[in-house]
Amino acid sequence: MPLNETVREAAAEAQRTLRKSGANVKWVEGENLHFTLKFLGDTPVSRVPELLAVGREVANRTAPIQVRVRGLGSFPPQRPPQVIWAGCGEGAEAFAALGRDLDAALTAAELAEPDQRSFMPHLTLGRVRGCGNLSELAECLQQAADLELGAMVVERFLLISSELGRGGPTYTTVESFEVRR
């Protein structure tokens, strides 16, 4: 799910603030920030037409979603942080419903395994690489639990191919699915 510039800039500012904790975190590059609806893993090219059909089907029954990106936190809950994220306030339930719908459609088409955890819309900001300064990071996250990053309208979602390289992932848009108006 692509971000608008307001949310992207606010997320980058949040990353700069969290860096001050001194924790060893691999931060997601600004151009790579996005919401993930479903991670598919390695998918044969021969299945791409089916993925496109499912994406169109889900988009055609989805209305635009107003989302407020709000609050920073980490996974797993109640344990040392591994993934640093920005969450959703207003619109989170409609956004989560889109994620569940896509998961169910991909599962029904035998294109993906069903998610074992309930879908929680989040924007990954970084992944913790070491155990130093985690209490400082946790304190920064607690202070930013209600941070407002901005609003956006989900009017489309993307099928993205990801190639891991030395400098991190390279994302290529395969298809953009416009939701119904």
Any idea which residues carry the catalytic annotation? 34, 122
Q: Find, among 148, 141, 146, 160, the residue nearest to 25 by Cα.
A: 141
**CA 63, CA 61: separation in Å to the nearest integer?**
7
41: left (phi over 0), alpha (psi -120 to 50) or beta: left
CA distance 48 to 136: 44
Work out whether strand 168-178 and strand 156-165 pair parallel, antiparallel, or are unpaired: antiparallel
In the numeric block, the tokens 């209490």 are attached to: 135
Nearest 10 degrees: CA dihedral of 44, 48, 54, 57? 180
Residue linked to tokens 């941070």: 147
